[in-house]
Chains A and B, each alone.
Chain A
């Protein structure tokens, strides 16, 4: 038992800051269908976010509303409340992109209707007897969220540093949406994991839910990318393959396969804590300069 202490999750204290939601809004009229010019595959792979996040983040909020009574730590409760507001805004912001895609002839409804089913029904509240079964299902979902947040933080950190997208002339509004979102994900990356440790923390559950979350993400993502490529009205015989993904990962247009694989053992490590990854400083710096976040600050001051 001598090494138990050393293997416990160790948060990096300096990475902790108070969380607040920002009331952003984006208008999409000027964003082209292929917002990474000349690269529909990259565009659509990143567009899959808009399919998964509205329903997914609504579900986070739904689950976290139920977990509030289990929190015995005031500081964590504050974090969770800030987290809920940020996630609610992410869900709203990505939801606004979908009508724009539809306007451009790429109707995402067949896919989002399934994602809605996944989060509202399959992962929704079940008619379980009160007491242990209900608590078990709630904890399972809390752990799932912690695993998903590991990847959102990973992607957030990636997009904040994805200079290649700027070099390719990607649409500034879309980049601002992604980086505002990514920065808030980096900002609150520890909350879901801290909450999981606080209310449950079982290592077996961490591994089990990671496996579910990872396979589901890979499955949904490749499916979404293929769905977009096949239904894009401007492409003849559009396809999405793993090699497309891998090549763009090497060029820095998408996260690289290697970086994604390397993040797996990190999450499963006993001493893992999200504050060891990414940089709050960089996230805060982006939020201080993001056009959408600045406009949000202005309208909030105006209202106050």
Chain B
């Protein structure tokens, strides 16, 4: 169908008139005719893929390399945060940041070569070199430093990486203790710097820093170290699974324990069974160990929105009123994580969650 010439002419004339009228108005007031949203929400992506240049790749202990990634105007981070590196093969691996949080021009991570690992650390050691560009995502903080009257840190080997910026960030005069264990002194990164942080280390038994190298001192005596944990202290532990379980067992009930796993537990459904209360609809459901909150909720409320079911589209985000959340998504920002979750992948840390739905 061909438009008639007359129609076209009228449309063009109308467009011209409208254009002239609008141009005058818009030039008079740049915001005409729309007000602006205060504060604007677009342009603040939740996560941003950044391509950073590797400017240093150096061995700082046996089997440990430190990688420095440079960029500009990088997002700030808080001690305990990690960065996801997209390795040349496409593997995505989280590494704790261990540089200076104030530095917005570079990120520093350190990683130990795991011989029988899943391949991520081998790639960082062997394929990543100076001059290579790496894509990163984050930083995110799953291991934030909370406010507490005193702190106790237990780090095993490379587990020192998230702890180091915390020690640097603690205000002068804060009471803290650190147990730093490793196989040999030569395999323990940042040892010198850690020992320097201890003001009264000269032969003192009550020193803030206890360094235990297995080949010289045997296994660390966790019982003795954890015996005198002060009341209200925040306990941070990062290291091999065995160490974290041992610390968990020895702590008295009610102590705030913060754990950072080298690798997050399996991301797909699974782990323990727990209860979910849907406060607004007045229902309580049980989420089975091999199921997800979303599946349980959909059985009751079939119109619950969701889409990707893998924790990145954000459609199934719901407000959480009570209960501690085990976040397993890749999307939410640290502040959103305070009171909401993606119900398709995230679970409860405890036995119960209360959702606002």
Contact = CB atoms under 8 A, between A and B. Distances in A.
Contacts of A199: none
Contacts of B137: 25
Contact of A96 (B1, B45, B308): B45
A84 interface: yes
Contacts of B279: none
Contacts of A65: 305, 315
B37 A85 contact: no
Contacts of B73: 103
Interface string A103-122: 10000111011111110111
Contacts of A261: 3
B38 A113 contact: yes
Contacts of B34: 114, 117-118, 122
Contact of A69 (B31, B303, B315): B303
Looking at chain A's contact residues, the main secondary structure is: helix
Nearest to B36: A113
Question: Which of A99, A102, A219 has most B Cβ within 10 Å?
Answer: A99
A299 B89 CA distance: 10
A30 B51 contact: yes
A81 interface: yes
B37 to A, nearest CB: 4
Given A25-B49, A103-B73, A116-B37, A110 B312 contact: no
A221 B91 CA distance: 39
B105 interface: no
B17 interface: no
Interface residues of A, number: 54
A223 B26 contact: yes
B43 A99 contact: yes
A98 B90 contact: no
Contacts of B314: 88, 92
Contacts of B61: none
B348 to A, nearest CB: 21
A116 B315 contact: no
Interface string A1-41: 00000000000000000001101011101100000000000
A298 B1 CA distance: 47
B267 interface: yes
A254 interface: no
Contact of A27 (B31, B35, B51): B51
Contacts of A117: 34-37
B268 interface: yes
A95 interface: yes
A99 B45 contact: yes
B90 A96 contact: no
B45 A88 contact: no
A217 to B, nearest CB: 14
Mostly, the B contact residues are loop
A287 interface: no
A98 B42 contact: yes
B49 A26 contact: yes
Given A25-B49, A88-B307, A223-B26, A116 B36 contact: yes
B40 A112 contact: yes
A115 B305 contact: no
A116 B40 contact: yes
Contact of B43 (A20, A61, A108, A265): A108
A29 B74 CA distance: 12
B330 to A, nearest CB: 8
B30 interface: yes
Interface string A248-262: 000000000000010
B248 interface: no
Nearest to A230: B30
Which residue, A51, A61, A82, has most C-beta atoms of chain B within 10 A?
A61
Contacts of B22: 219
A243 to B, nearest CB: 12
A299 B90 contact: yes
A54 B51 CA distance: 22
Among B30, B40, B46, B51, the most chain A Cβ lie within 10 Å of the Cβ of B40
Contacts of A20: 308
A122 B34 CA distance: 10
Interface in B11-68: 19, 22, 26, 30-31, 34-51
Nearest to A121: B37
A302 interface: yes
B35 A95 contact: no
Contacts of A115: 42
B135 interface: yes
Interface in A212-264: 219, 223, 242, 261
A84 B3 contact: no
B90 A302 contact: yes
Given A82-B307, A113-B36, A113-B38, 19 more contacts: A21-B307, A23-B312, A26-B49, A27-B50, A29-B50, A29-B51, A30-B51, A55-B42, A85-B308, A88-B307, A88-B314, A89-B312, A103-B73, A110-B31, A118-B34, A242-B19, A261-B3, A265-B1, A298-B90
27 contacts: A23-B310, A25-B135, A26-B49, A27-B51, A29-B50, A68-B305, A85-B308, A85-B313, A85-B315, A89-B313, A92-B45, A95-B42, A99-B48, A108-B43, A110-B30, A113-B37, A113-B42, A114-B31, A116-B36, A116-B37, A120-B37, A121-B37, A219-B22, A242-B19, A261-B3, A302-B92, A303-B310
Interface of B: 1, 3, 19, 22, 26, 30-31, 34-51, 71, 73, 90-92, 135, 137, 267-268, 303, 305-308, 310, 312-315
Report the 8 A-B pairs with minimum CB-CB distance, sorted nearest first: A85-B307, A98-B43, A113-B36, A113-B40, A116-B37, A117-B37, A65-B305, A25-B49
